[in-house]
Structure 1
Amino acid sequence: MCRVGAARTLRAVSRLPARAWPAYLPLRRVLVVSRPALWVNTVGTLVTGVWLSGELYTLHPGVLALLVYLTLPFNLLIYGLNDLFDREEDARSSRKGGWQGARLASYEAAPLLRATAWLNVPALLLLTLALPPAATAVLAVSAALFVAYSLPPLRLKARPFLDGLSNVAYALPLALPALVLGKGMPWAPLLALMAYSVGKHAFDAAQDIPADRLAGTRTVATTLGAGGTALYALAWFCLAAALLWPVSRLTALALLLTCGGMSLALRRRPTPEQAARLYPLSIVTPWIVGAVAGVQLVYLLARGLWP
């Protein structure tokens, strides 16, 4: 199955217009494609999972290996493949070509796939040997969902509602420390992060409605329109806050104020332009909500009050 998927991917890339392709991409370019500003979504989630497991820090080799993998390699898998197969939409998007996402040239396709494979395949194989089977399975599901989001034939990005639901992959690293360390699963925070991820995907997609429609790509946002997408995202954010309420009311309130507030702002002025203006707030919501949750967790752990 892996060989068939790889062959389809290579055939898709081979159809892209090309000139003389370099053998590799410079490290600076690889870093740009991996969107370091968004690494908090993977690294921060794993660290929060460590805290939720009752540990302030851990030197467990499996957790440390995951911490390294969830930086450049995993984010290149997420965003490199996304940018590669979104080239038509990205060419029409004014926000691409900088920290919000790369605008790839056709000659970068093969080197990018090569870099993604070299950074991910050996790492995943080594992690399979180092991690418990359950943790390996969760990591594999997360990686598979991100690949399926971008790559044909599934290309979940172009399947309305499945596009956002597949983004629960962002939440799965929260479960890894518990599985590696043999601790209890933090079900409420995990489910809350899943709901938040679905809502955030929909909200972020609203600004891309014009480019996606021009490219013929159907997403949850092109289906619902900007106003409908605002309400859809708000519903998921409210669900996330409800799941967090018994665990941390302060974190739930922070989520409602930031994510709920930006959803209501988009509902009041339901245009892609308004969504674009609100996007910087969307980018920092993981930092805001994560900081509120993290400060509480560290305080409780340091005082020996977290179960």
Structure 2
Amino acid sequence: MEGSGYSGKRVRAAQNRLTWRQLLLVSRPALWINTVGVAVTGLWLAGELWSTRPGWWLLLLYLTLPYNLLIYGLNDLSDRAEDAHSARKGGWQGARLRGGEDAALLGWMLLLNGPLLLALALLLPGSALLVLLLSALLFAGYSLPPLRFKARPVLDGLSNVAYALPLVLPALLLGRPLPLLALLAVSAYAVGKHAFDAVQDIASDRAAGLHTTATRLGVRGTALYALGWFTVAAALLWPLSRLSALALLLVCGGMAAALLRRPTLVQAGRLYRLSILSPWLVGAVSGVQLVYLLVRGLY
């Protein structure tokens, strides 16, 4: 018992080494739209503007800080070698962990994820819980050995379909038909966006000996690869919303085309800000349409 109490004190002491600001930096709030926004879009696709179900509210809460801390915390813990060569880490684009902070981060991840997952297990249907756990396992597999999809070209991007899975959670919660075409479109977008965003890290990844789709294809090849996936995503969206499909082609296809015209790491870094905004821009176009149709009773 004394050993257990001592271990608990060590964990609490380690957690105190990280401030809430540092935890927010690790969780990358600018990217929360990839979890919260996708789930809200899934609710609208299920035919509801909002839901008063406790499971929905708790799910939304979980998809903010706790879930994103899990996604990016594991990534930061496993990417120390690459992050040491990356000038963009240490700010809003991701934390650069110092010595001794790994135990603190793991402690906070367990504290924020464990209780909420247990509560969600009681409030969500079994199918929704399984999809949520599958998404978490894919993210863990992306960062952690022995799978570490991040270090496996092609699989690094394909594993990012995990970002699309929250889209089906509201339908499973409410017992509605699954938005399969939208799921496939968001999945294709996620694969292309992962490749596009990885271009700016080619130099640091190669310096750390990491092999990714981007390091294999190079700047120009990865831009073409991403453009192909964005085109597939737009084609899948076309039957659902031509305006959304065109917005995706304009924003995401446009940034891939801009990188093709000037295939340099500097250009990739400049375009990354547009890539961060892309889900907000395309999501706004899609969301406004869905809300309008729901309010008018046309969806």
For the aligned pair, the TM-score class normalised by the smaller chain equals: over 0.9
1-structure distance, mates of 2:188, 2:161: 7
Separation of aligned partners in 2, 1:70 and 1:106? 28
Name the counterpart of 2:200. Answer: 207
Map 1:244-255 → 2, pairs under 5 A: 244-255=237-248
Q: Tell me the residue number matched to 2:218.
A: 225
The answer to whether the 8 A contact 1:53-1:184 is kept is: yes
Paired residue for 2:178, among 162, 165, 185?
185
What is the rounded CA distance, in whole Å, between the counterparts of 2:57 and 2:14 in structure 1? 35
Per-residue deviation, 1:147: 0.7
- Note if 1:305 corresponds to 2:292: no
Q: Distance in 2 between matches of 1:24 and 1:70?
A: 24
Task: Quote the offset at 1:29 in angstroms.
Answer: 1.3
Q: Runs of 4+ in structure 1 displaced over 4 angstroms?
A: 20-24
Question: Aligned partners of 2:239 and 2:177: how far apart in 1?
Answer: 17
User: CA–CA distance in 1 between the matches of 2:117 and 2:89?
Assistant: 29
Match of 1:29 in 2: 22
Name the CA distance, whole Å, in 1 between partners of 2:14 and 2:106: 12
Contact 1:24–1:115 (8 Å) recurs in 2: no
What is the deviation of 1:55? Answer: 0.4
- The residue aligned with 1:265 is 258
Alignment of 1:116-265 (within 5 A): 116-265=109-258
Q: Distance in 2 between matches of 1:177 and 1:170?
A: 15
1:98 aligns with 2:91: yes
CA distance in 2: counterparts of 1:174 and 1:110, whole angstroms: 32
Q: Deviations over 1:177-231 (max 9, x none)?
A: 0000001111111110000000000000000000000000001100110100001
Name the structure 1 match of 2:100.
107
Give the drift of 1:252.
0.2
Aligned residue identity for 1:278 = L
The 3 A distance-change label for structure 1 pair 112 and 142 is same
Return the alpha-carbon distance in structure 2 between the equivalents of residues 28 and 271 of structure 1. 33
Q: Which secondary structure state, in structure 1, belongs to the residue aligned with residue 156 of structure 2?
A: helix
Q: Does structure 1 retain, via aligned residues, the 8 Å contact 2:67–2:113?
A: yes
Following the alignment from structure 1 to structure 2, what is the Cα–Cα distance between the partners of residues 153 and 249? 42
Unaligned 5+ runs, structure 2: 1-12
Aligned: 1:274 with 2:267: yes
User: Could you tell me how far 1:27 is from its partner in structure 2?
Assistant: 1.6
Query: What letter matches 2:43 in structure 1?
Result: V
Amino acid at match of 2:177: G
CA deviation after TM superposition for structure 1 residue 247, in Å: 0.4
Residue of structure 1 in register with 2:31 after alignment:
38
Higher mean C-alpha displacement, 56-65 vs 242-251: 56-65
TM-score (normalizing by structure 2): 0.94
Structure 1 gaps, min length 5: 1-19
Mean CA deviation greater in 22-31 or 257-266 = 22-31
Q: How does 1:24-103 map to 2 (within 5 A)?
A: 24-103=17-96
**Aligned partner of residue 18 in structure 2, secondary structure:** coil
How many residue pairs align between the two structures? Answer: 287
How many angstroms apart in 1 are the aligned matches of 2:32 and 2:26? 12
Change (3 A) 1:149 1:305: same
Counterpart CA distance in 2 for 1:27 and 1:250 is 40
Aligned to 2:74, the other structure's residue is in SS state: helix
Q: What is the alpha-carbon distance in structure 1 between the residues aligned to residue 58 and residue 44 of structure 2?
A: 17
Instruction: After TM superposition, give the deviation of residue 117 of structure 1 in Å.
Output: 1.1
Q: For the Cα contact (< 8 Å) 1:24–1:114, is it kept in 2? A: no
TM-score (norm. length: structure 1): 0.92
Identity %: 68
